[in-house]
A = this chain, B = another copy of it.
Amino acid sequence: MQGLLQSSRGRFLAVASEFELSPPQVLALKALDPERPVPMSELACALHCDNSNVTGIVDRLEDRGLVERRGAPHDRRVKMLAVTQAGTEVRERLLERLRDAPPALAALSPEDQRALCDIMRRALGRE
């Protein structure tokens, strides 16, 4: 299990540098929803970090044109984060690369792979 997590870290870092994004930027883009803007605070929660950190991370994603701050109608204090068209495209390619099976798992027999998927589905109640 530990070994799998370790190898996943390497793949994650490789994909991040492939897209010229920092690790937190990748996590942010992954956590955001192109179909439903979310408040900054929700992203902070997803990234396990303070609100104040999200300001900078979003600043840089916004500079790259991948994300957009919008006002919230119901509460003028909150800013909603929307994924732009360009951001959605990058995000799609990013998720695709991250979804690629780790080499260790890809090498398993088809039966093992199917069994693994079934177990994971039960563990996570659908991903």
- The residue in A10, A13, A120 that gathers the most chain B C-beta atoms within 10 A of its C-beta is A120
Q: Is A3 an interface residue (CB 8 A)?
A: yes
- A120 neighbours in B (Cβ, 8 Å): 1, 4
Contact segment of A50-58, A63-71, A102-110? A102-110
Q: Is A18 an interface residue (CB 8 A)?
A: no
Known: A1-B101, A104-B124, A112-B123. 17 other contacts (CB 8 A): A1-B99, A1-B120, A2-B98, A2-B127, A4-B123, A4-B124, A5-B5, A5-B8, A13-B48, A107-B123, A108-B122, A108-B123, A112-B119, A112-B122, A115-B115, A116-B116, A119-B119
